């Protein structure tokens, strides 16, 4: 499993490996995929309803197919950075679209990023297994500081989790 450095594991991730019995690679979609900033393009036309995948948490097999896919994605990402595209999720989405890789979309609990305000009071959603926390990044604007405080309350204030 690959993790960005601003993630925190809250649960046993053994179930994630079972996905690899059928799929080569798995990740969670970008939840606000419809926003213009998530509609970037490098060199492939991908349908709108094939949203970006958040590459901050990826589960992948060690198969030759997966290794080849990751090499191709790395090469394309490097080219895109040279051309000014700074989001690796753009090239990941395109690489999936152009390949025959068996990809599985994981539930948001495997890469929890966004909090619905109602979740601060009550939720019947499953608890996150991995959180991708804004509180682990510098908060250099008032909005980011507010987001940090909300994240602290939500992620670190829940009594049922042991950190």
**Confidence category of residue 42, pLDDT binned at 50, 70, 90:** confident
User: What pLDDT was estimated at residue 156?
Assistant: 63
For the chain, domain boundaries: 1-163
Q: What is the three-class DSSP state of 142?
A: helix
User: What pLDDT was estimated at residue 60?
Assistant: 98
pLDDT beyond 70 at 163:
no
- Span 85-114, pLDDT tens digits: 777 899 999 999 999 999 999 999 999 887
User: What pLDDT was estimated at residue 36?
Assistant: 76
Q: Could you please report the per-residue DSSP string of 101-130? A: --EEEPPGGGSB----GGGGT---SPPPSE
Task: Tell me the whole-structure pTM to 2 decimals.
Answer: 0.79
């Amino acid at each position: 499993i690959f993790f960005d450095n601003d993630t925190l594991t809250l649960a046993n991730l053994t179930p994630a490996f079972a996905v690899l019995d059928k799929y080569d690679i798995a990740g969670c979609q970008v939840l606000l995929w419809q926003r213009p900033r998530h509609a970037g393009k490098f060199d492939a036309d991908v349908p709108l309803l094939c949203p970006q995948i958040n590459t901050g948490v990826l589960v992948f097999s060690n198969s030759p197919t997966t290794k080849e896919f990751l090499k191709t994605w790395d090469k394309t990402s490097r080219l895109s950075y040279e051309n000014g595209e700074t989001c690796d999720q753009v090239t990941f989405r395109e690489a999936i679209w152009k390949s025959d890789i068996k990809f599985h979309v994981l539930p948001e609990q495997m890469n929890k990023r966004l909090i619905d305000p109602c979740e601060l009071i009550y939720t019947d959603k499953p608890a996150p297994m991995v959180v991708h926390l804004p509180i682990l990044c510098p908060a250099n604007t008032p909005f980011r500081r507010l987001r940090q405080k909300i994240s602290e309350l939500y992620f670190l204030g829940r009594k049922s989790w042991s950190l």
